[in-house]
Amino acid sequence: MTRVVDGDTIEVKTADGAEKTVRLLNIDTPETVDPQEPVQCLGPEASAFLKEQLTEGTGVDLTYDVEEKDRYGRDLAVVSTDSTSNISVDIARAGFGLPLGIAPNTTYLPPVQAASEEARAAGKGLFDSSNACTPAARTEKTVQAVDDALALGTGDEDAAHRSYVAVAAALAAARSLIAEITDHPDYPWPEDLRKQLEQRRGRAQARKQQLTEMGADQDPAQRRAADQREQAAAEQRAAEQRAAEQAAAEQREAEQRRAEAREQEAVPEAPAQQQEQQQPTPAPRQESSTDDQGYGTDADYPGYHGRRCYAPGGKRWKPC
């Protein structure tokens, strides 16, 4: 062995002097050398582990399955040494990689799978939930967030809204992590952990829809503030309407008073004018018994129906 490239790839020189790049069969470790990808969680640790197992100059044996090369031209082989029969099994047992079975190269897969289960049970490497970057830790955190959000009650509208906010945040976290796993299929993420995430995503999505139908997606405080603003605006409009109606009523009353005043001013003249217009001219008489002051009797003023001014005694009169 001449060089460790990363956690699952080495370079070797054969007995005849040929140089080969060998991809360890049936194991997948986090990336460290892909220029288009960031260094993945436990990638450096996986590389360091392999370097401890295979130091430069160590003699190795290569055992091939059905397909001997991958699409990049690398040899696909089980690598063994004097101290180990399959270095892929050792990597899986330490938790620095996951079993990878791509047909038809599955002959040597079972012992790698068994070693990975040992790592899972021991909480090693990728299964170490105390290491924040591992699939185990990230899955556990996301699953717990969803479960906690789903457990929140909806006793009143404020509690329901808090539940909605928590569920929405947990759902977003689950979706984000699943998208990250999907976008980076080369990262060794345990399938059972992926299924846990997808299950929680489904539950959170259903709960969010239920809370939305309840109206819990709206902030009660904001809704109450909006209701108060609308009520204040309605009261303002009503007050303005009342003021406008009052002003109109006062204007009508003022106009009515002015009209009545004009009518009252015209009343005293109307009868006098009417009497003057209707007062017939006294018929001339040929003989009158009036005295020198004009007092007479009805015979002296035939047809006169106007006002009368009487002489002392009240029997004789004259037109006023």
DSSP 56-103: TT---EEEEEEEEE-TTS-EEEEEE-SS-S-HHHHHHHHTSSEE--BT
Residue 287: per-residue pLDDT:
55
Residues acting as catalytic residues? 23, 31, 74
Residue 234: per-residue pLDDT:
85
* Average pLDDT of the chain, as a whole number: 89
| CATH node for 3-127 | 2.40.50.90
Query: What's the DSSP call for residue 210?
Result: H
Under the banding of pLDDT at 50, 70 and 90, the label for residue 115 is very high
Number of separate helices (H) and strands (E) present in the chain:
8, 9
Under the banding of pLDDT at 50, 70 and 90, the label for residue 229 is confident
Please state the separation of Cα 137 from the chain's center in Å: 29
Q: Examine the pLDDT at 109 and tell me if it is beyond 70.
A: yes
Q: Examine the pLDDT at 36 and tell me if it is beyond 90.
A: no
Residue 274: per-residue pLDDT:
54
Domain spans, the chain: 3-127, 135-213
Residue 240: per-residue pLDDT:
87
Instruction: Tell me the per-residue pLDDT of 156-196, one tens digit each, with 9 for 90 and over.
Output: 999 999 999 999 999 999 999 999 999 888 889 999 999 99
- Scored b (16 or more CB within 10 A) or e, 50-86 reads beebbeeeeebebeebeeeeeeeebbbbbbbbeeeeb
Residue 168: per-residue pLDDT:
97
Q: Tally the residues of the chain.
A: 320
Average pLDDT over residues 28-33: 91
Q: Examine the pLDDT at 222 and tell me if it is beyond 90.
A: no
Q: Examine the pLDDT at 278 and tell me if it is beyond 70.
A: no
Instruction: Tell me the per-residue pLDDT of 52-76, one tens digit each, with 9 for 90 and over.
Output: 999 999 999 999 999 999 999 999 9
Residue 277: per-residue pLDDT:
56
